[in-house]
Structure 1
Amino acid sequence: MVEYGAGTGVGLHRVLEPAGVLPQAALRLDTDPRIRPDEVRVRVERLNLDAASYRQLRTAHGGDPGAIRAEVLRIVAERGKMHNPVTGSGGMLVGVVDEAGPDSPLGLKEGDRVATLVSLTLTPLALTDGLARWDGRSEQVPAEGHAILFARSIAAVLPADLPVPLALSVMDVCGAPALTRRVVAARESAPVVAVLGAAGKSGSLSLAAARRAGASRVIGLVPTAEEQERLAASGLADAVVRADARDPVAVAAAIGEPADVTVVCVDVPGCEHGAILATAPGGTVVFFSMATSFSAAALGAEGLAADVTMLIGNGYVPGHAERALELLRSEPAVRALFTARAGADSAQ
């Protein structure tokens, strides 16, 4: 039984098993609603499952909404968090602060509507409504329950000028454009940037961030003719090409002259080798997908004798939420892609 004394900033006191690991690696977390002095309890309104996790759940259950809903409920009930055991990923949530401990450094107060900017794989979570309002057909999940934030958690108060589903969609992937901006800006000369999965949420934001950071040319790679047409019409990329990101030779051929920076925003496994093959010697590959295999990337680069730097986007760069929201507000093409994908602008 966990003792309810003073908390630890990283949440060790919430780990039920196995002992000694951090909450993200834990098999099960303690979801007791009583908070320690440095914790915050959030009343859950909506979950946002990460794209790789939702795709896996949908595929595994043949798109059956009831089965998808039941699987999410089972995972949360068993683990005390939303931690997909197949993809290892979770998502994030929106809710209202119920109570903030006096020693919490997060700057939140009761009544704040917030988005958590840390993964659901490490966030204690209890659901109380059986997800009755979720049709199982979207990554965004209306929900009731509570979640616990630690001193080392991250959360942002939702902006008043954007619909909640739209803001949540942006904040879910806000680390991607922030890291893309950092990598592009650090290059000695203006780089060519290729984004795989460029018509998606993180992909479209990364295109806009790369251009603003000084890229000489941005290339968007998409899998279908429909996405190619939509992205080309947006003007976010200088060139839009089509290939299956899981086909290394097709990816390299579509990109053409290798890129200096390649950003992977594809939510399916098996895209590592194509990204490496499409990147110039001395270039950088940013893997911003929970479907990425570290071993496939590392061994693939070795096998190709590829002199590239490979980065795994960890979802956090200081100021990432504010910058992503600013991109959404100031780039009509980005907002149009987001709303076309999720219809978020019309929902509150």
Structure 2
Amino acid sequence: MISPESDPTGLHRVLDRPPVLPQAAQRLDTRRELWPDEVRIRVERLNLDAASFRQLERTHTTDGVVDGDAIRAAVLDIVATRGKMQNPETGSGGMLVGTVEEVGPDSPLGLAVGDRVTTLVSLTLTPLVLEDALASWDGLGEQVPCDGYAVLFGRSIAAVIPDDLPVPLSLSVMDVCGAPALTARIVGEYAATGRDPVVAVVGGAGKSGSLSLAAARDAGAARTIGVVPHQAESELLTGAGLADEVTIADARDPVALRDAVEKAGGPADVTVVCVDVPGCEGGAVLATADGGTVVFFSMATSFSAAALGAEGLAADVRMLVGNGFVPGHAAYAMDLLRRTDGVRRLFESRL
């Protein structure tokens, strides 16, 4: 028998001593038995976050050939060692989809046995057990078919998957749904003051980037600029029609990024960073007008580099960390997908 005492943040599952919050923990308790306010999910698919998967891909690529077996083994080792999916290099994880198989009597999440759900909290704090050795995954993509179970706490968040969309598509959208909601909030603040905000999205052809561009336009942006790394992405984003101007720049080159945004109609009042590579902090700051806002949604961001870089440039910019949660974020992202053909085409092309 387990103690009925639990904490809605999941502290009772932390094995570290002294205890820390589950996201910061080195190891979580993954027992199947539930505390009264928990929910257990039968997991069918993981969605690894982009920064984590790209790091694994880079580490296990030799002479241009990606070793999917090695990536699969690395993910299995992380989950077995830590009791959760948290890449030790990036600190990030992803999210999952599955079916509710048991609900504790005191769970506040409003879920019922049989609900097919996607979690809206990170795998970095979710107790997880994989029971199939990831036999159905080739290790070459971010979406991971699997069989196992996960546990949600009293303060976890989950959403029932809509019936009108394929599960892989829904999972891809839910994985990044915090980005468009926060983008819309920030752009809306500028528009409400009578300003005509220019919005630049770095990584505009990606999942969070394309949704952020759609959200910026939806919230009243006067001009949207999509920054992409190469011609193929430029053609993809141009074809989607989500940005008023598409420009090519290496986001890791501060001067190149600044010049590209300025040439496209900047500097930006709001710059949204959605790329999954490190080293983009300085360019994002330089591309943003004084009094503007930079929103960092990439888990590859060094927040110390961003803060110290802005100070060193004497840049009067507000910098925000996109924490992945805004009330109503899942519903808003799904609504954007349904009514914005360009967003849906981009997502489907990446599946």
> Aligning the two structures, in what range does the TM-score lie when normalised by the shorter sequence?
over 0.9
Deviation, structure 1 residue 3: 5.0
Cα shift readout 1:205-257 (whole Å, capped 9, x = no counterpart): 00000000000000000001001011112111000000011000000010013
Contact 2:6 2:12 in 1 (8 A): yes
Contact 2:2 2:35 in 1 (8 A): no
CA–CA distance in structure 2, aligned partners of residues 166 and 288 of structure 1: 20
Cα shift readout 1:5-64 (whole Å, capped 9, x = no counterpart): 222100000001133200000000000010011000000000000000000001101120
For 2:140, the aligned partner's letter is: R
Deviation, structure 1 residue 102: 1.2
Tell me the equivalent position of 1:128.
Answer: 131
Instruction: Say whether residues 1:271 and 2:270 are aligned partners.
Output: no
- The 5-angstrom pairing of residues 84-99 of structure 1 reads 84-99=87-102
Tell me the equivalent position of 1:208.
Answer: 214
Point out where structure 2 has 5 or more consecutive residues left out of the alignment.
none
Contact 1:42 1:99 in 2 (8 A): yes
For 1:194, the aligned partner's letter is: A
Instruction: Say whether residues 1:341 and 2:345 are aligned partners.
Output: no
Tell me the equivalent position of 2:205.
Answer: 199
CA–CA distance in structure 1, aligned partners of residues 196 and 17 of structure 2: 48
Q: Find the residue that maps to 1:241 and give its secondary structure.
A: strand
Q: Find the residue that maps to 2:15 and give its secondary structure.
A: strand
The runs of 4+ residues in structure 1 deviating greater than 3 Å are none
Tell me the equivalent position of 1:329.
Answer: 338
CA–CA distance in structure 2, aligned partners of residues 121 and 225 of structure 1: 34
What fraction of aligned residue pairs are identical, expressed as a percent?
70
CA–CA distance in structure 1, aligned partners of residues 350 and 47 of structure 2: 14
CA–CA distance in structure 2, aligned partners of residues 308 and 299 of structure 1: 12
Tell me the equivalent position of 1:113.
Answer: 116
Point out where structure 1 has 5 or more consecutive residues left out of the alignment.
343-348
Q: Find the residue that maps to 1:29 and give its secondary structure.
A: coil
Instruction: Say whether residues 1:242 and 2:241 are aligned partners.
Output: no
For 2:209, the aligned partner's letter is: G
CA–CA distance in structure 2, aligned partners of residues 222 and 249 of structure 1: 15
**Bigger mean CA deviation after superposition, 224-233 or 315-324:** 224-233
CA RMSD of aligned residues (A): 0.9
Tell me the equivalent position of 1:346.
Answer: none
Contact 1:288 1:313 in 2 (8 A): yes
TM superposition score normalised by structure 2: 0.96
CA–CA distance in structure 1, aligned partners of residues 164 and 32 of structure 2: 31
Tell me the equivalent position of 1:33.
Answer: 32
- The 5-angstrom pairing of residues 159-238 of structure 1 reads 159-187=162-190, 188=193, 189-238=195-244
